[in-house]
Amino acid sequence: MTPHSALTLRVISADEHVEYVRSRGASGAVSFLQAPSWGGVKAEWRNESLGWFDGSELVGAGLVLLRKVPRINRFLAYLPEGPDIDWTGEHSRFSLADWLTPLTDHLKEVGAFAVKLGPMVPVRRWSADSLKDAIATGEAKRLRDVTPDYDNPAGLDVANKLIALGWTQRADTGAGFGDVQPRYVFQVPLEGRTADDLLAGFNQLWRRNIKKAEKAGVEVTHGTYDDLPAFHEVYVETAQRDGFTPRGLAYFQRMWTAMTAEDPERLTLFLARHEGRVLAATTLVKVGAHAWYSYGASSNEGRDVRPSNAIQWAMIRECIDAGCTVYDLRGISDTLDPSDPLFGLIQFKLGTGGYAQEYLGEWDLRLRPLMSRAFDAYLARR
């Protein structure tokens, strides 16, 4: 146990951590990357569940992944989209230092030479209408060129506090991908809205494609563990088409096993079939009232019957029925330039009528600067 101010930090069990995540419910946006099961997915990392205590009360939690450096017994510590603490100070009497000092003290004790974390703190938001207008005029090339519909001063203040505490942020690549996890995401608000409300908010192309899929007889169903090879076959086809390196089938089997053991509702596999053939497949993750479209795949065949639109519409309707308040389409680039190859990431998602959300991004602290610089050099040579 590491004392600092009135907060203490210690390793907690996976069961304690799951119960804490469950207790947050709809009131707290805990990322699925901060659920204990994610540690089971990332088999190449060691993991710990950490809890912050105010006296005997558990008031914050985080999943830390520890990646061993080759040939030495030191670790890179990573808390993807976490930890789940009161970052802005709106809900507790503790300063950011009160939360982070016990964390860094503990991680240094277990052999970490550097820490990376990703606050789930919103900074800016742009509505679909604002972005469509900006694209139509051609005057804006990046999200930051458009006046946001929402600013969060408390979020920006967290950045200043992190800097004061010695944390740094990787330079953005210019595409919004300076972080391991996406800084920019696209989300569809669901709270208080019916399926008809959502459909009315879609653009004409989305509505037409959904209707076309229905007319063609595209059927969307849930899959099981035994359907993962069918998902993976289409996923590999997608990787070949889009030029990325696919994960192996074993990764998705491990994800299914770990996440469904933690909560049967945590992970759902969707399959879109036409005339018996799987044309699209996706995974949906839910934590509390937040739902994420995590992986998606589509075949080169049958694109004219619009299976991708059909499967998204099925997922969204299921999220409404489950009482979710946010449907998260995950990462987008920050480009608004139609000539940019990454523009398609936002173009498809804009059709849902949601909003682009910018988070605070990922931050690094060098606990052992010399070793951290050596590790950076090692990564640069790979």
The CA distance from 101 to 324, in Å, is 34
Left if phi > 0, otherwise alpha if psi is -120 to 50, otherwise beta: which for 176? left
Residue 3: what pLDDT? 44
Phi, then psi, of 236 in degrees rounded to 5: -65, -40
The CATH homologous superfamily for domain 2-118+362-381 is: Gcn5-related N-acetyltransferase (GNAT) (3.40.630.30)
- For residue 318, is pLDDT > 70? yes
At 306, the amino acid letter reads R
DSSP 48: E
How does residue 60 score in pLDDT terms, banded at 50, 70 and 90?
very high
Residue 22: what pLDDT? 93
- For residue 178, is pLDDT > 70? no
Cβ atoms of 330 and 185 within 8 Å: the answer is: yes
Condensed to tens digits (0 to 9), the pLDDT of residues 33-56 reads: 999 999 999 989 999 999 999 999
Condensed to tens digits (0 to 9), the pLDDT of residues 229-266 reads: 999 999 999 999 999 999 999 999 999 999 999 999 99
CA angle 16, 19, 20 (to 5 degrees): 85
The CATH homologous superfamily for domain 122-152+160-359 is: Gcn5-related N-acetyltransferase (GNAT) (3.40.630.30)
Residue 351: what pLDDT? 95
Residue 26: what pLDDT? 64
Closest to 361 in 3D by CA, of 179, 160, 238:
179
Comparing 2-118+362-381 with 122-152+160-359, is the CATH topology the same? yes
Residue 250: what pLDDT? 97
| HSE value, Cβ hemisphere, 13 Å, CA-based, for 96 | 17
Average pLDDT on 360-369 reads: 93
How does residue 2 score in pLDDT terms, banded at 50, 70 and 90?
very low
- For residue 27, is pLDDT > 70? no
The domains of the chain are located at 2-118+362-381, 122-152+160-359
| Token pair recorded at residue 139 | 């005057």
- For residue 277, is pLDDT > 50? yes
The CA distance from 87 to 361, in Å, is 13
Condensed to tens digits (0 to 9), the pLDDT of residues 187-206 reads: 999 999 999 999 999 999 99
Condensed to tens digits (0 to 9), the pLDDT of residues 86-118 reads: 999 887 889 999 999 999 999 999 999 999 999
Residue 1: what pLDDT? 43
Average pLDDT on 289-310 reads: 96
Average pLDDT on 149-154 reads: 95
Q: For residue 206, what is the enclosing H or E element?
A: helix 204-216
How does residue 218 score in pLDDT terms, banded at 50, 70 and 90?
very high
Cβ atoms of 116 and 364 within 8 Å: the answer is: yes
Residue 345: what pLDDT? 87
Query: What value does the mean pLDDT of the chain take?
Result: 92
Cβ atoms within 10 A of the Cβ of 45, count? 17
Residue 374: what pLDDT? 67
